[in-house]
Amino acid sequence: MNQADFDTFHAAFAAVAEAHPENAFLAVPAREGRDYDAEGREITYGQARAEIERLVALYREAGYGMGHRVALLLENRPEHFLHLLAFSALGVSLVSINPDYTHDEMLYQMEHSDADLAVVRAKRIADVEAVGRDRAKTHGAPLPVVDGDALPARLPRAPRPPGNEAPGRGTELGLYYTSGTTGRPKGCVVTNHYFLLTGAGYLDALRAGDVTVEDGGERLYNPLPLYHVNACVISFSGMLQSANCQIQPDRFHPSTWWSELAQTRATIFHYLGVVPPMLLNQPESPDEKSHCVKWGLGAGIEPSLHAKFEARFGLPLMEGWGMTETGRIFAASGAPRHIDTRAFGRPNEWMTGKIVDENDREVPRGTPGELVVWSPGDEPRDAFFSGYLKNEAATEEAWRNGFFHTGDTVIQREDDMFVFVDRTKNIIRRSGENIAAAEIEARLAEDERVANIAVLAVPDELREEEVMACIVARDGVKTGEALADALMDLALAKLSYFKAPGWWLFVDTLPTTGTQKVQKQEIFPKGSDPRAQPGVIDRRDRKKRPKR
């Protein structure tokens, strides 16, 4: 498929559905006890096309079109993709809601995005309606909410008429929220053009190496959440443009991973760094050899486990790199893959990059610096995100000097391979979630018992990193486990469970600069493990996904 032939993501899908109506498009593994598709389900391109046409008519009849935004909280149900493609046909933009968001987090997203409608799972209607009522204080009317498990015959009317122009490549199709380094998440605006080039770049980055992606012959199992671009855009667009199938489980289940791969006839899978160690910790079973998977693609595997994983399970893992802002990826799909390092790929025809110092000057090969990336050709921003919603200053800061600043410290080898070293941004990476330390600090600093706070990343043998809070209590406040529990209650009430600190430490002071900025790198002696400091309180057992 030549993605340049299409004006919208929906048009590309329609062409594939016309040519290959019987090909499998979406699949859900069987899973006993799940509240949807417990016996599994498969949807062909032809079946999907009919349902998407129905959704287009339903939204159009209610007045939705160019310039509107619709929020979806459908978890990992395949219907999420069908609504997305209907939105592309209409010129509507998708706002993906993280199911783990608290009331306050969701309220911020619905206020900031100016969403016109929310389509949510039946079990979450009351939660989102409560958010909608609170949003009326800033938007004048409650946010309409409808049952996404059983859509009504008529949707609530759109609050204003749609624009008159037809959807095109530059039309906004999605708004994805990423953790900002200075507090609240930033909304990344992405277009049809972004969706199309992301999928094309994904396929080419893989095919340029030693792996195969056959048109109409692949079934990709992706356990990652649909409010992130990995599953919702990168792999999905690649599978769509190659007439292939995406298998979407509800989430990662280590004990049934291999049986689900076999059951769904998966040929490819995506992973995060937490997946390989959890699979290696599972007892050996016939299921781990009874599948037809050719290779996996992901990010964050511990180098010491890479060869061990490939030897035990008999398939290669390709490390990759990408961001919401870039869409397209680097992938270490060609030899040598340097699996004893955190190597993640080389520049390609869709995205290139270099390593620079603090003054944006390129550094010699093998020297650590910040990875900056751009689109080859005349327009460096081509098919990257269009910008941060309502934050032009942050957009231009990220693009200073003509290339996008990733915030990742990387080296580049003589053979062009990029190797990850660390993050320079104030971001914690836990089980695939980017967590802004500043957001947690802001919420905890609201408590009158907290005089000063520093939130930082500490190592975690399973989840890559964990959140740690170092607290200076106000005079007269008794510190210890009771205060840690009280602040943990606050964090869990205000933030998604995965953002809450798993480790707590009360200190007398925090090191600061002359302008009173906390110097986090000076809190603990160099080379020491913060988790082993006297007085550290472990509350990781309280970080559990709420039952919905």
pLDDT at 515 over 60: no
Q: Is residue 418 part of a domain?
A: no
User: Is 542:488 a contact under the CB 8 Å cutoff?
Assistant: yes
pLDDT confidence band for 348 (50 / 70 / 90): very high
User: Model confidence over 457-497: pLDDT tens digits?
Assistant: 999 988 889 999 999 998 999 999 999 999 999 999 999 99
Domain finish residue from 361, 376, 411: 411
The CA angle 359-362-366, to the nearest 5 degrees, is: 120
Please report where in the chains the tokens 């990875």 appear, as a residue.
371
CA distance 394 to 361: 21
Query: Predicted confidence band at 136 (pLDDT cuts at 50, 70, 90)?
Result: very high
As a whole number, mean pLDDT of residues 143-156 equals 97
Query: Given this model, what pLDDT does residue 160 score?
Result: 96
Is residue 407 located within the same domain as residue 439? Answer: no
Residues 129 and 25 grouped into a single domain = yes
Q: Please, which pLDDT band fits residue 514 given cuts at 50, 70 and 90?
A: low
What pLDDT score was predicted for residue 435? 87
Same domain, 175 and 258: yes
Q: Which of 17-21, 282-286, 408-412 has the highest mean pLDDT?
A: 17-21
Mean pLDDT of 494-512: 93
Alpha-carbon gap, residue 97 to 105, rounded angstroms: 10
**Residue 548: other Cβ atoms inside 10 A:** 11
On whether residue 140 sits in a domain, the answer given is yes
Same domain, 456 and 401: no
In the prediction, which pLDDT does 61 show?
Answer: 98
Q: CATH number of the domain that 528 lies in?
A: 3.30.300.30
Asked whether residue 157 falls in the same domain as residue 45, the answer is yes
> 430 - beta bridge partners?
433, 464
- For residues 219 and 298, state if they share a domain: yes
Residues 6+ apart with CB under 8 A from 108: 184, 185
Residue 285's alpha-carbon distances to 252, 272, 288, 352, 514, in angstroms, are 18, 22, 6, 42, 59
Residue 520 reports pLDDT greater than 90 = no
The identity of residue 478, as a single letter, is K
Per-residue pLDDT tens for 238-248? Answer: 999 999 999 99
pLDDT confidence of residue 159 = 96
**Are 353 and 444 members of one domain?**
no
Across residues 372-388, what is the average pLDDT?
Answer: 96
- Using CA atoms, how far residue 51 sits from 72, 278, 455, in Å, is 17, 37, 46
Asked if 27 and 37 count as a contact pair (C-beta separation under 8 A), the reply is: no
- Structural domain contains residue 296: yes
Q: Is 208 in the same domain as 289?
A: yes
Q: In the chain, how many domains are there? A: 2
Instruction: Please tell me the least confidently modeled range out of 108-112, 370-374, 418-422.
Output: 418-422
pLDDT tens-digit map of 32-90: 999 999 999 999 999 999 999 999 999 999 999 999 999 999 999 999 999 999 999 99
User: Would 419 be classed as within a structural domain?
Assistant: no
pLDDT in the model for residue 422: 76
Whether residue 424 lies inside any domain: the answer is no
Domain of 483 in residue numbering reads as 435-542
In a domain, 417, yes or no: no
Question: CA 80, CA 5: separation in Å to the nearest integer?
Answer: 25
Mean pLDDT taken over the chain: 94
Cβ-contact 177, 186 below 8 angstroms: yes
69 domain-assigned = yes
Name all contacts of 391-399 with Cβ < 8 Å and 24+ positions apart: 391/186, 394/180, 394/186, 398/325
Query: What is the pairing mode between strands 464-473 and 450-460?
Result: antiparallel
Q: Which two tokens stand for residue 249?
A: 């489980």
Q: Is the peptide bond before 336 cis (omega within 30 degrees of 0)?
A: yes
Q: Which residues, other chains included, contact 149 with Cβ-Cβ below 8 Å and sequence gap of 6+? A: 36, 121, 122
Query: Token pair of 82, please?
Result: 């069908």
**Closest to 271 measured CA to CA, from 310, 305, 222:** 222
Residues 314-320, mean pLDDT to the nearest whole number: 96
Whether residue 331 is found in the same domain as residue 449: no
Q: How confident is the model at residue 324 (pLDDT cuts 50, 70, 90)?
A: very high
In a domain, 155, yes or no: yes
Q: In this predicted structure, what is the pLDDT of residue 280?
A: 93
